[in-house]
Structure 1
Amino acid sequence: MINYILGLISAATPALAQEIVSPAGGAAPVMESMAPAVTGSGMDIMHLIFQAGWVVKFVLFLLVLFSVISWAVIFSKLMVLRRSIKQNEQFQAMFWHAKSLGAANAQAMQLAGSPLATVFRLAYAELQKVMGLRKGRGDGLPEGLMANIKRALSRGTAAEATKLARSVTFLATCANTSPFIGLFGTVWGIMDAFSNIGALKTANLATVAPGIAEALVATATGLFAAIPAVVFFNHFNRRIQVLEAEMDTFSQDFLNLVELEVMSRQSSRETTRPTQA
């Protein structure tokens, strides 16, 4: 029985192969009819975009817009962070070699792009205000007024961190939404392709391939917009976290300097105070 079935298959195979190569009725061979669909100019990407439906075109326009804005944010933020890092290094070198806080404040005014310099200026202004209130008194800086300086440092750090993170959230939005927008365009394009198949009553490669290719262009564009946004969003987040850590560390160092200065003044007053007989 098995030998009989194998004999039927072997007898039918040449006939099937001949039918595929040379179909009945003088029709063109199937493989030859498929070749133009694959190698013709209809598969050019720009041609596919212009031939796409209005929904797919809108999706592509939106994704290109996202990509352009993302690259603008990327280049802008690269320059801002590079300047911040460079001026932070300059400020720290200057601050620890300054003869006084007043001299450090005068030099910090020249480093407008340094988050550390900005935080220091705010804290120094608060310190001057507190010292003005306590002028003429010999009891130093009480805990309540030291808390004012701490709050000034915290406000400055939060404001600078917010400024550094500005526009970075757009990269996260672009990275999260672009693939799904591209997927929507792909699904819509595939629906159009199957609709055309139903209208033409045929399902050969020449009918299906252009619609599928149009749909996949939307997915590729979505990935093109999302991948750089993901990479630079993570890069910027790491840089901003480092800058925030530097501001927090500097705030603690500044508070230590102020407290040491207060203790030094109190100690000098006690040593110069006349002893009672």
Structure 2
Amino acid sequence: MTEDLSILTLIAQASLVVKIVMAILASISFMSWYWIFYKGFSISAARSATADFEQSFWSGGDLTILFRNISNDRDSAGPLGRIFEAGYREFSKLHGQKTLEASDIINGARRAMRATYQRELDDLEAHLAFLASVGSVSPYIGLFGTVWGIMNAFRGLSNVSSATLAHVAPGIAEALVATAIGLFAAIPAVLAYNRYAHDIDRLSIRFESFVEEFSNILQRQLR
């Protein structure tokens, strides 16, 4: 009679330690997919909001009106809009102090934008470290389950007078399922981490370029 080697049967018949390893990997995979989708939507929204703000900013409209609109709705302004809002707010506050030099006003506005830029970047990078950890650790967790399962499979052969492939195959197969689950958790996490890290780097460059360009615009207004 042919032994059932389906995935569900192998999981059900696995030893307790291997089942625990599989449960851990399944939980990690679920959390990983949650953050993959969450970060994908949040980075896409940040990229879209950044493009909308750049279009509004470089259209030549009144910066005071743009600042007022963003101040009234900071949540939908996007990271670049909030960077602009912080810089323009600090510029307006310092510009009203007649005792300050132009360089002090510009440096104050730039510091405000830099602080907001760092906060926005931290928000975008949040939980990326988790995806990196899943990508690097999951295969080893799965490998531990595989090694343990194979040890149990060969230990069971000590009670058999003549070992055949039929005796060894089910134990090894159920052990390898742990490695497969580990890879299933790791591969999407690695791909998502690399993609999101690249997207965030591109956004970071756009933010830094805007800080410098907007600082130059503010400096020209003081002349």
TM-score, structure 2 normalization: 0.94
RMSD: 1.5
Q: 1:199-250: per-residue Cα shift (whole Å, max 9, x none)? A: 2233111211111001100011111111100111101001100110110000
Quote the residue 2:33 is aligned against. Answer: 71
Corresponding position: 1:151 with 2:111: yes
Q: 1:66-98: per-residue Cα shift (whole Å, max 9, x none)? A: 111111101111111111111111111111224
Identify which of 169, 172, 186 aligns with 1:212: 172
Which consecutive unaligned segments of at least 5 residues does structure 2 have?
none
For 1:226, give the aligned amino acid: A
Distance across 1 between alignment mates of 2:193 and 2:180? 20
**Structure 1 residue 99: Cα displacement:** 3.1
Quote the residue 2:190 is aligned against. Answer: 230
Quote the residue 1:5 is aligned against. Answer: none
For 1:63, give the aligned amino acid: L
Distance across 2 between alignment mates of 1:202 and 1:158? 67
Identify which of 70, 83, 98 aligns with 1:108: 70
Which consecutive unaligned segments of at least 5 residues does structure 1 have?
1-35, 264-277
**Structure 1 residue 151: Cα displacement:** 1.1
Sequence identity of aligned pairs in percent?
36
TM-score, structure 1 normalization: 0.76
Distance across 1 between alignment mates of 2:82 and 2:159? 67
Corresponding position: 1:51 with 2:13: yes
Quote the residue 1:30 is aligned against. Answer: none
| Contact 1:123 1:152 (8 Å CA) reproduced | yes
Quote the residue 2:218 is aligned against. Answer: 258
Equivalence map 1:12-51=2 (5 Å): 36=1, 40-51=2-13
Quote the residue 2:81 is aligned against. Answer: 117
Distance across 1 between alignment mates of 2:75 and 2:101? 29
Quote the residue 1:132 is aligned against. Answer: 96
| Contact 1:141 1:262 (8 Å CA) reproduced | no
User: Which segments of structure 1 move beyond 3 Å, counting only runs of 4 or more?
Assistant: none
Distance across 2 between alignment mates of 1:80 and 1:112? 12
Matched pairs, number: 221
**Structure 1 residue 132: Cα displacement:** 2.3
Distance across 2 between alignment mates of 1:65 and 1:224? 12
Secondary structure of 2:4 counterpart: helix
Distance across 1 between alignment mates of 2:190 and 2:201? 17
**Structure 1 residue 108: Cα displacement:** 2.7
Higher relative contact order (CA 8 A, sep 6+): 2
Structure 1 residues 45 and 188 mapped into 2: Cα distance closer, same or farther (>3 Å)? same
Identify which of 147, 153, 162 aligns with 1:202: 162
For 2:58, give the aligned amino acid: W
For 1:144, give the aligned amino acid: D
Distance across 2 between alignment mates of 1:200 and 1:170? 45
For 2:89, give the aligned amino acid: A
**Bigger Cα Rg:** 1
Distance across 2 between alignment mates of 1:238 and 1:164? 12
Quote the residue 1:20 is aligned against. Answer: none
**Structure 1 residue 189: Cα displacement:** 0.5
For 1:117, give the aligned amino acid: G
Distance across 2 between alignment mates of 1:217 and 1:201? 27
| Contact 1:87 1:111 (8 Å CA) reproduced | no
